[in-house]
Amino acid sequence: MTIEQQITQSIIAGIQSLYGNEVPAEQIQLQKTKKEFKGHLTLVVFPFLRISKKSPEITALEIGAYLQEHEPAVTGYNVIKGFLNLTIASICWIDLLNDIHSQPDFGIKQATAQAPLVMIEYSSPNTNKPLHLGHIRNNLLGFSLAEIMKANGYKVVKTNIVNDRGIHICKSMLAWEKWGNGETPESAGIKGDHLIGKYYVLFDQQYKQELKELEAGGLSKEEAEAKSSLMAEARGMLRKWEAGDEQTRSLWSAMNSWVYAGFDKTYKTMGVDFDKIYYESETYLEGKDEVLRGVKEGIFYERADASVWADLTKDGLDEKLLLRADGTSVYMTQDIGTAKLRFDDYPIDKMIYVVGNEQNYHFQVLSILLDKLGFAFGKGLVHFSYGMVELPEGKMKSREGTVVDADDLMDEMITTAREISQELGKLDEMTPEEAGDIPHIVGLGSLKYFILKVDPKKNMTFNPKESIDFNGNTGSFIQYTYARIRSVLRKANEQGIILKDVLPASIPISEKEENLIQLIAEFATVVKEAGTTYSPALICNYIYDLVKEYNQFYHAHSILREENVNLKDFRLVLSANVAKVVRSGMSLLGIEVPERM
């Protein structure tokens, strides 16, 4: 039983005794006391005024007096208007720490055989360009969300849908065919995804030049686009691909293989993975069949030009294209097919799509269309919509080659971490192996934390220079605090001090130490809330508050030099459990913590 549950039961008994009424536990609102007031837990008494028929202050005073007399855990109280602030006995906090100390995975639930299955889709790259900064936010959010859902006792399948077909893919293929001269990743010494991205940019440059020349000849922009021979060739290539043309498919297969090899390296460096990868080239036909079934059943309709549409005006939306006049598919077609295949493959209880907020309308439509097609899972789809990530200089554009490449950014973060660590002397006493690992751990940890600490719903600006700072709300500050705790524990071990399994309840601890235990105990609640609200930012900001509180404790209290043996043991156990929660919390963000730093 938690302290909150124990106090809740006493409050229920107190209200029965004082006012002759029984209240349900759900009506008891206990929250952490604000820092500016004395106490640990605060009871909101306003719900009980109709029972007490007294003022908020009198009601709070009467309940407080009852608790101090009848509940051993309550050693004091004070009243601020309608709020009763309760001070909890030190023995309760030590008992709580003993309980946390006995649980290696405190705050983490393990999935049972009957646990619901959640599938989380993230990454969703196109095979015409390398991953960029926007993909980094997507991958980090998706991977972290998967870890958080696991920690809440769900079974999780991490999935990726690779957009490996369509006009954008054909643009890269056509540009390579025209101007590539047989170039390969090996001959160019370039990662495959980077090489293909180069040709995607080249196509756009050549296309713009062609439009410029056509417009100079007197055509309007629309007329020039319609007359573009380059775009006509790309569309022709797409039709050949969908018709199964052997030469087109062979080129497509070779170029995609280069990209996949490049993606794999990027994912490995980033520290994300997938349990199942779907490919649009394998799912779009399934979607096409479903759309054609929808036409036969009168769910969708065909226009005179043979294009297929869904009329969603009765749903408060507009008409949505599902198949083009030439029979080629659109993204919506592919997503219908992918959803069907996934639910055929897995007994999914919840499907979560991690996709930017520019696709809000798309997923609103997808949910409606799946429901109209008779799929029971249609209405239950969750679009984890997140804001865009920009640089201080503004937005990025793939076609113009102005994106921040994911590989380059991660390399830059690792290099910056190495330079700062050397400057601060943090690598001086390390082995060559440790000195090589730390910049990687700190650089990527700083990147991940900076991205994930922002509310997912909000747009954000990523500034690499701000993300690596050994002070402030950064990943490196948290990593450094963890390494500091591990250093203290190593020194204790060198002195022959063994961590106690159970601490005696009579240790005289300070208010700062009580507050730190209370904060450690909140981890389980934060993990649950992060899973309910799909917010890794809650984990980030909780860990930051915890290490900030620990550093204040560390500077105010002696640990290894403490003469009282019981108090020294207590502070070591307290430190070990802070480190345990920091490590668990950071792992939910996909962030490593170093033993030395």
Look at residue 398 in the predicted model and tell me its pLDDT: 42
The candidate with the shortest Cα–Cα distance to 339, out of 310, 313, 368, 305, is 368
Q: Is residue 260 part of a domain?
A: yes
Mean pLDDT value of segment 231-250? 94
Mean pLDDT value of segment 520-534? 97
Q: Identify residue 490 by its one-letter amino acid code.
A: R
Look at residue 363 in the predicted model and tell me its pLDDT: 95
Tell whether 187 and 39 lie within a shared domain. Answer: no
The last residue of one of the domains, among 332, 366, 390, is 390
In terms of residue numbers, what domain contains 37?
Answer: 3-88
Tell whether 549 and 434 lie within a shared domain. Answer: yes
What are 381's two structure tokens? 């789809």
Whether the predicted pLDDT of 394 surpasses 70 = no
Contact between 581 and 546 (Cβ < 8 Å):
yes
Whether the predicted pLDDT of 2 surpasses 90 = no
Contact between 203 and 175 (Cβ < 8 Å):
yes
Look at residue 558 in the predicted model and tell me its pLDDT: 95
Mean pLDDT value of segment 398-417? 78
Q: Is the dihedral of CA 50, 53, 57, 62 positive or negative?
A: negative
Tell whether 386 and 426 lie within a shared domain. Answer: no
Whether the predicted pLDDT of 395 surpasses 70 = no
Instruction: Name the band, by pLDDT with cuts 50, 70 and 90, for residue 400.
Output: very low
> What is the signed CA dihedral for 446, 490, 434, 471, rounded to 10 degrees?
30
Question: What CATH number corresponds to the domain at position 147?
Answer: 3.40.50.620
Look at residue 399 in the predicted model and tell me its pLDDT: 43
Instruction: Name the band, by pLDDT with cuts 50, 70 and 90, for residue 396.
Output: very low
Tell whether 206 and 338 lie within a shared domain. Answer: yes
Contact between 479 and 593 (Cβ < 8 Å):
yes
Mean pLDDT value of segment 251-256? 97
Tell whether 383 and 426 lie within a shared domain. Answer: no
Strands 389-390 and 276-279: unpaired
For residues 530 and 423, the model is more confident at 530
Tell whether 373 and 473 lie within a shared domain. Answer: no
Mean pLDDT value of segment 11-24? 94
Look at residue 166 in the predicted model and tell me its pLDDT: 87
What are 534's two structure tokens? 């799909």
Look at residue 295 in the predicted model and tell me its pLDDT: 96
Q: Is residue 171 part of a domain?
A: yes
Tell whether 68 and 151 lie within a shared domain. Answer: no
Whether the predicted pLDDT of 498 surpasses 90 = yes
Q: Is residue 100 part of a domain?
A: no
Which element (helix H / strand E) includes 97?
helix 90-101
Mean pLDDT value of segment 368-389? 93
CA distance 211 to 37: 69
Instruction: Name the band, by pLDDT with cuts 50, 70 and 90, for residue 281.
Output: very high
Least confident of 310-324, 355-369, 398-412, 439-453: 398-412
Whether the predicted pLDDT of 528 surpasses 60 = yes
Whether the predicted pLDDT of 276 surpasses 90 = yes
Mean pLDDT value of segment 200-214? 95
Scanning 318-405, the segments in alpha helix (DSSP H) are 331-345, 360-372
Determine phi and psi for 84, rounding to 5 degrees: -105, 110
Contact between 451 and 389 (Cβ < 8 Å):
yes
Least confident of 144-153, 260-269, 399-408, 494-503: 399-408
Domain count, the chain: 3
Q: Is residue 544 part of a domain?
A: yes
Look at residue 393 in the predicted model and tell me its pLDDT: 63
Question: What CATH number corresponds to the domain at position 82?
Answer: 3.30.1360.70
The last residue of one of the domains, among 88, 110, 138, is 88
Look at residue 53 in the predicted model and tell me its pLDDT: 94
Tell whether 354 and 265 lie within a shared domain. Answer: yes
Look at residue 434 in the predicted model and tell me its pLDDT: 74
Q: Is residue 311 part of a domain?
A: yes
Question: What CATH number corresponds to the domain at position 523?
Answer: 1.10.730.10
Instruction: Name the band, by pLDDT with cuts 50, 70 and 90, for residue 401.
Output: very low
Tell whether 39 and 170 lie within a shared domain. Answer: no
β-pair partners for 119: 157, 351
Tell whether 148 and 268 lie within a shared domain. Answer: yes
257: number of CA atoms within 13 Å, CB side? 8
> Tens digits of per-residue pLDDT, 546-576?
999 999 999 999 999 999 999 999 999 999 9
Tell whether 352 and 454 lie within a shared domain. Answer: no
Residue appearing with tokens 């226009």: 303
Give the chain's mean pLDDT. 93
Q: Is residue 108 part of a domain?
A: no
Percentage of the chain surpassing pLDDT 70? 97
> Tens digits of per-residue pLDDT, 422-472?
777 766 677 777 777 889 999 999 999 999 999 999 999 887 777 777 678
CA distance 160 to 154: 19
Q: Is residue 563 part of a domain?
A: yes
Tell whether 335 and 438 lie within a shared domain. Answer: no
